[in-house]
């Protein structure tokens, strides 16, 4: 009888614990069948659900709960509990948003992480949402190395060839392209191929070679340009409704943060591992031509970017403050970065 009573109490305890586990419905900006980009949000859910006894996340593809470009508002007002995204989508809402997503000619992943986690980046990131009235907690939850610079239907031989093009472009890089005479629009991933196919756009950038190949861009635009000057590194965010976040105890909050840090490392490594085979396949099986911007063209892009940055800083005090802070950090980082890494270009003996 005693054993039966203990068993009943234990069963009751387990059941009550299971019922106490809080469910977070999380919308993603990227479909779960997109390698690296879309699978990162699924991987985060797998990670947090494997270590937490207090919270459970459920993943939803774009449009299943809300459209991708409405995720911030939906998370803030509590229509959804959480969103996996990148702040560059909110460039039209907050001038500084792109600085926490991808900075043209900015830091590569190591330097960007240093600024975000060990300088002022992450605190500014939260402040941006707070100051603009968004009821969200933001966590850095993914990152990968440069994207491609774009897919073009026609070869670009001079900067004049860009003028008049209609192009899907993202974040602060879109401001640069607009200054160079390109008509830009921000389309969600699933809308890009149809726009290319019907001629609504002449070119697009979206992500890395493997991701872009999954969307079939090579069927229409055969010229794939590098390097990704507009996104030397790309950061991804986990937004959580702040009321939901503050209701969690410290252990549950820590578990989410730890799962995001693990996801960040996994996301970066996967991107580094899987894109060179994709580039090879794009060329050999799909007839893609890999093109590289020359130094003069890159200088045109950078000059335009610095003009954009000055204009945004003049218009928006918070952008100016964050931009100055990042520039100050980068100036200090040069002492380390310029000395510790092998110079570029360097001809390796192994390559001779």
Q: Which residues are annotated as a binding site?
A: 147, 168, 205-206, 231
SS3 112: helix
SS3 40: helix
56: phi then psi, degrees, rounded to nearest 5: -135, 130
- Given a contact cutoff of 8 angstroms between Cβ atoms, the answer to whether 140 and 235 are in contact is yes
- The HSE-up count of residue 309 (CA atoms within 13 Å, CB side) is 20
- Alpha-carbon distance values, 177 to 89, 183, 299 (Å): 16, 8, 13
CA angle 318, 323, 325 (to 5 degrees): 100
Residues at the annotated binding site for Na(+)?
Answer: 206
Tokens read off for 33: 């069948």
- Given a contact cutoff of 8 angstroms between Cβ atoms, the answer to whether 98 and 87 are in contact is yes
Which residues sit opposite 223 in a β-bridge?
152, 289
């Amino acid at each position: 009888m005693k054993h039966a009573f203990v068993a009943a109490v234990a069963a009751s305890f387990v059941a009550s614990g299971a019922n106490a586990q809080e469910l977070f419905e999380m919308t993603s900006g990227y479909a779960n069948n997109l390698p690296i980009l879309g699978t990162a949000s699924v991987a985060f859910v797998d990670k947090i659900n494997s270590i937490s006894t207090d919270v459970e996340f459920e993943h939803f593809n774009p449009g299943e709960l809300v459209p991708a470009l409405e995720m911030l508002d939906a998370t803030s007002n509590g229509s959804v509990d959480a969103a996996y995204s990148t702040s560059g989508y909110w460039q039209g809402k907050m001038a500084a948003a792109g600085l926490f997503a991808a900075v043209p000619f900015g830091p590569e992943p190591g330097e960007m992480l240093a600024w975000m986690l060990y300088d002022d980046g992450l605190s500014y990131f939260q402040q941006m949402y707070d100051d603009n009235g968004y009821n969200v907690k933001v966590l850095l939850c993914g990152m990968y190395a440069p994207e491609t610079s774009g897919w073009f239907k026609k070869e670009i031989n001079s900067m004049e060839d860009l003028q008049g093009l209609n192009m899907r472009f993202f974040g602060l890089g879109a401001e640069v392209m607009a200054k160079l005479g390109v008509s830009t629009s921000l389309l969600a991933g699933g809308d890009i191929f149809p726009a290319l196919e019907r001629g609504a756009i002449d070119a697009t950038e979206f992500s890395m070679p493997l991701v872009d190949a999954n969307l079939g861009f090579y069927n229409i635009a055969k010229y794939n340009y590098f390097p990704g000057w507009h996104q030397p590194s790309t950061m991804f965010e986990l937004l959580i409704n702040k009321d939901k976040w503050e209701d969690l105890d410290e252990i549950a909050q820590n578990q989410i943060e730890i799962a995001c840090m693990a996801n960040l490392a996994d996301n970066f490594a996967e991107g580094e591992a899987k894109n060179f085979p994709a580039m090879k396949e794009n060329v050999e099986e799909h007839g893609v031509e890999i093109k590289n911007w020359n130094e003069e063209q890159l200088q045109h892009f950078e000059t335009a970017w610095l003009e954009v940055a000055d204009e945004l800083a003049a218009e928006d005090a918070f952008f100016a403050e964050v931009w100055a802070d990042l520039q100050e950090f980068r100036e200090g980082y040069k002492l380390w970065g310029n000395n510790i890494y092998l110079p570029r270009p360097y001809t390796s003996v192994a390559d001779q």
